[in-house]
Amino acid sequence: MRKAKWVAAAAGVVLLVAGCGSEGGGTDKGGSSSAGSAATGGSGAGGSSDEKLDAAAVTKELTDAATEAGFTQDSSGEAVPAEAKECMVSWTADAEKAADPAKSYAGTVSTLTGTGWTEERSSGAGGSTIKSLKKSTWKLQASNHSAGPLKLVMFVAVDSSPECAAALAASNAKPQGS
C-alpha cells in the first residue's frame, strides 16, 4: 500500500513537471481546448472556449468515465494535500479488481476524449502507457502500469490556472507531513 502511494506521488510530480515544460516528448498534438466544449453538458461548465472547470466537475468526469469502463476507485491511492484540493484531482483505479485493466484504461481515456478532453501526448515503454490530456485549464495525466506485477492505473489532473499554480507551488514548498 505504501508503495502505491509513493508511485501516486511520483506520478503527480511527473504531471507537474510535464505541464510546466514545453519540450514535449512522445507525440505532441496541438490545438484549441475549445474543440469539445459543447460536449461537456452536465459538467457545470459553460460552452465557451473560456469554460472554467472546477475540481468537482473533473472528479465527476473521471469517476463517470472510469466506472463506466469497469474500474472501481482505490481511495487509498489519493494523496492530494488539503490546500490543493481545488486545483488537483487524483483518481486511482483498483486495477486488481478490473477484469482487463488495459481495456478499462483505454475505455476511460476514450470516454474522456469524447467529452472534450484533448489528447496532447502519448508515450509507452515496458508495458506502461501514459497519456496527457487537456481540457480548459486542466491537464490530466492518465497512467497505466498494469502489465507488470504492480497493477497501477491512475489519473491525476492539475488546474494550470495562475491561481492554482501559486497554490500548488505553496503546497510543494511545505515540508512533508505538515
One-letter identity of residue 85: K
pLDDT for 25 equals: 39
**Is 33 domain-assigned?**
no
**Is 178 domain-assigned?**
no
Strand order in the sheet with 138-145: 88-93, 152-159, 138-145, 128-135, 118-125
Q: What residues are paired with 93 via a beta bridge?
A: 73, 153
Q: Which residue has the higher pLDDT, 114 or 2?
A: 114
Q: What is the pLDDT of residues 135-162, one digit of tens each?
A: 999 999 999 999 888 889 999 999 999 9
pTM (two decimals): 0.72
**Is 11 domain-assigned?**
yes
One-letter identity of residue 177: G
Extract the runs of DSSP E, i.e. beta strands, from 6-69.
none
pLDDT for 178 equals: 54
**Is 27 domain-assigned?**
no
Q: What is the pLDDT of residues 67-121, one digit of tens each?
A: 999 999 998 876 788 888 999 999 999 999 999 999 999 999 999 999 999 999 9
Domain housing 85 = 1-15+76-173
Q: What residues are paired with 101 via a beta bridge?
A: none
Q: Quick one: pLDDT band at residue 29, thresholds 50, 70, 90?
A: very low
**Is 58 domain-assigned?**
no
Q: Are 25 and 125 in contact (CB under 8 A)?
A: no
**Is 40 domain-assigned?**
no
Within 10 Å of residue 106's Cβ, how many Cβ atoms?
A: 16
Residues in contact with 112: Cβ distance below 8 Å, sequence separation at least 6, in sequence order = 61, 62, 65, 133, 140, 142
Q: Which residue has the higher pLDDT, 66 or 168?
A: 66
Query: Average pLDDT of 38-49?
Result: 36
Domain count across the chain: 1
**Is 96 domain-assigned?**
yes
What Å distances lie between residue 67 and 36, 64, 92, 128, 136, CA to CA? 21, 5, 11, 21, 23
Alpha carbon 106 to chain centroid, angstroms: 14
Helix (H) or strand (E) holding 119: strand 118-125
